Structure 1
Amino acid sequence: MELHQLQMLRELGELGSVKAVAETLSVTPSAVSQQLSLLQRGVDTPLTRKEGRNLVLTEAGAVLAEAGAGVLDAMAHARAAIGAYQHDPTGAVTISGFHSAGQALFAPLVRALGEMARADGGTGTPRVLLSDEDVAQHDFPALAARYDLVLAHRMDHSPPWPTPQVQVLPLAHEPLDVALAADHPLAALDALSPADVVDQPWVTSRAGYSPDDVLAAIAAVASRPVTVVHRINDYSTVAALVSTGEVIGLLPRYTSSTSLAPAGAPAVVLRPLTGISTKRRIDILARPESLKRTSVVLVAQALQRVMADLTG
């Protein structure tokens, strides 16, 4: 049984003729007759009978038409509910972010949404539910099954995100810079090459993350291995270790700004790395159906504004 077939059966009971049903539903009489015949094939009791030149419902047809009316009413309520859900600007939006994105964007996002709420009298703004997910680059798309919006990063040379599995909203194109203690000898240079840094002791991320990809490129360009002392994914910890002057590291130019002056430690400075590609793309990933919700779109737009302010 199909909904449109039940609707035609119901209308036949109400209107009394195939022609009237066709006019009401803006279809041809033959289309009505065809759909009623298909409905009849799934039922072993006659649903209609001829009465003069008209087709009318049998008692069984009237019973099914009444039950069908209930189904149609339930579906109408379901469509209205999903419509209200999709168009509700105050709906909850779940967001996951990798660590540096969360540190840089989550608090400004909450403040931006608060300002939106105050501007419209406290109504009409989404509520965000934030989580951090530190995963390897290829694992970000799968998070879109659990979150409405996923803040993800990948290096320029990495495979693109799998569309149409996820839709991609670009946020930033961010370089990874060499992080040095402010009093490190290399900090006197405006920019650094792989040859300048390859022989330094390093703190970098675990394999599968952006800093380790860049460090591998440094070794390849310099044609010799690097010495990795520490493998740390958290950028605040990386910055604290770099500030000791014992190691150097790689930090993203925009999203690590909150990590560059560890409490009670000398400042950490960033220097661009020349000769290799160090840029990563920061994107919002979302399932296509998530972006049909007004609240999700509003939050995605707010994230884009926050990132634009951060990159300046």
Structure 2
Amino acid sequence: MFAIERLRALHAVAGHGSIGAAARALHVTGSAISQQLAKLEREAGTPLLRKHGRGVLLTDAGTVLARHAGAVLAQLAQAEADVQAAAGSVVGQLSMVGFGTSIRALVARAAQELTDAYPALRVDLREMKPPSAMAALVAGDADLAIVEDYAGYPVGVPQNVIQVHLLDDPADVILPADHPLAGRDRVSFAEFGRERWISYSECTVCMDWLLHALRAHGHEPSPHHYASDEATQLAMVSAGLGIAVIPRLGRSPLPANVRAVPPDPAQVRRVYLAYREDSAARPAITAAIHTLTSFSG
């Protein structure tokens, strides 16, 4: 009989691609994952992993067992959801992941509301970029994920994942106060010629969306500066290094020498709550959906 925690370790390695990444996802040490996998190999009676450079790859047997592990873990999650639904109790652990500005503006307050309303529910919150958040959700490492896409540049939804629209988040063009267009009520991307653009360095979807929007208005942009968060981008604009497009949700206050001008047509980021179908019956999921939608309304 294979132990559940050992199957969980193998499933995490298969989903995340390395022992280190699996350890981070499961909040344990790499050595703990290695020990679980060594015991699982002894139980299986055959190697499940092989070394590949600095990482590991699954053997054929490991791939087969990882696939079964995913099915077993999904069935356990469904069983937990069904039992909690039958009891009608908002209990247990709820893992929520989301990008930084969503946590600042929305999710942190919702997590505290859930904790106050349901003392038997433990809410864990982690900051993650949207692609990593969705991957954690699909792998079973998170129960709820706050994700995004952009109007005109949608992102696909994995199978067995349900998305609930929370809000539309308009974006502004962020300009130095002395920029010729800073005093306008609205501005078209077509009016920006050879600007020095500041873009995201870690969120590929965000950067691709900016490039897509500029190309639609006849520009072939080449970002000069990169930053992974909005506060750093604001500081770059304030220093006169360039201009940026930044959504409003959770955005830091603008420096005194910076202006935000809405683009025409409007550029909108859509923010969603995502969860797995196999957990839909959990009262904790229902409570979280209700709380998050009420906070975002």
Give TM class, smaller chain. 0.5 to 0.7
The residue that corresponds to 2:83 in the other structure is: 83
Q: Is the 8 A contact 2:98 2:130 kept in 1?
A: no
Q: Is the 8 A contact 1:201 1:248 kept in 2?
A: yes
The C-alpha deviation readout for 1:46-67, integer Å capped at 9, x for no partner, is: xxxxxxxxxxxxxxxxxxxxxx
SS in 2 for 1:292: coil
Distance 1:267 1:303, change over 3 A: farther
Give how far 1:226 is off: 2.4
> Partner amino acid for 2:129?
D
Is 2:105 aligned against 1:112? no
The residue that corresponds to 1:208 in the other structure is: 204
In 1: Cα distance, 2:142 partner to 2:259 partner:
35
In 1: Cα distance, 2:210 partner to 2:80 partner:
51
The residue that corresponds to 1:297 in the other structure is: 286
The residue that corresponds to 2:168 in the other structure is: 173
> Partner amino acid for 1:286?
Y
SS in 1 for 2:194: coil
The residue that corresponds to 2:270 in the other structure is: 281
| Unaligned segments of structure 2, at least 5 residues | 1-78
The C-alpha deviation readout for 1:103-136, integer Å capped at 9, x for no partner, is: 222332234335x53xxxxx55633101111144
Distance 1:304 1:126, change over 3 A: farther
Is 2:174 aligned against 1:185? no
SS in 1 for 2:125: strand
SS in 2 for 1:89: coil
The C-alpha deviation readout for 1:206-262, integer Å capped at 9, x for no partner, is: 3622244123321341x2322411121211111121222331101112x133x234x
Q: Is the 8 A contact 2:92 2:121 kept in 1?
A: yes
SS in 2 for 1:176: strand
| Unaligned segments of structure 1, at least 5 residues | 1-78, 118-122
The residue that corresponds to 1:92 in the other structure is: 93
User: How many equivalent residue pairs?
Assistant: 216
Distance 1:183 1:300, change over 3 A: farther
After TM superposition, the score normalised by the length of structure 2 is 0.63
SS in 2 for 1:246: coil
Tell me which of 126, 129, 137 is aligned to 1:134.
Answer: 129
Distance 1:164 1:196, change over 3 A: same
Moved more, 149-158 or 204-213: 204-213
> Partner amino acid for 1:217?
A
Is 2:215 aligned against 1:219? yes
Q: Is the 8 A contact 1:194 1:219 kept in 2?
A: no
Tell me which of 242, 245, 257 is aligned to 1:250.
Answer: 245
In 1: Cα distance, 2:89 partner to 2:193 partner:
53
In 2: Cα distance, 1:81 partner to 1:286 partner:
13
Q: Is the 8 A contact 2:84 2:282 kept in 1?
A: no
SS in 1 for 2:113: helix
Query: Rg bigger for which structure?
Result: 1
Alignment of 1:263-278 (within 5 A): 265-266=255-256, 268-275=258-265, 278=267
CA RMSD of aligned residues (A): 2.9
The residue that corresponds to 1:7 in the other structure is: none
Alignment of 1:57-76 (within 5 A): none
Distance 1:286 1:189, change over 3 A: same
In 2: Cα distance, 1:81 partner to 1:195 partner:
51
In 2: Cα distance, 1:80 partner to 1:225 partner:
51
In 2: Cα distance, 1:113 partner to 1:197 partner:
45
After TM superposition, the score normalised by the length of structure 1 is 0.60
Give how far 1:293 is off: 0.9
In 1: Cα distance, 2:186 partner to 2:267 partner:
13
SS in 1 for 2:291: helix
State percent identity of aligned pairs: 26
In 1: Cα distance, 2:154 partner to 2:222 partner:
28
Tell me which of 208, 223, 230 is aligned to 1:235.
Answer: 230
The residue that corresponds to 2:144 in the other structure is: 149
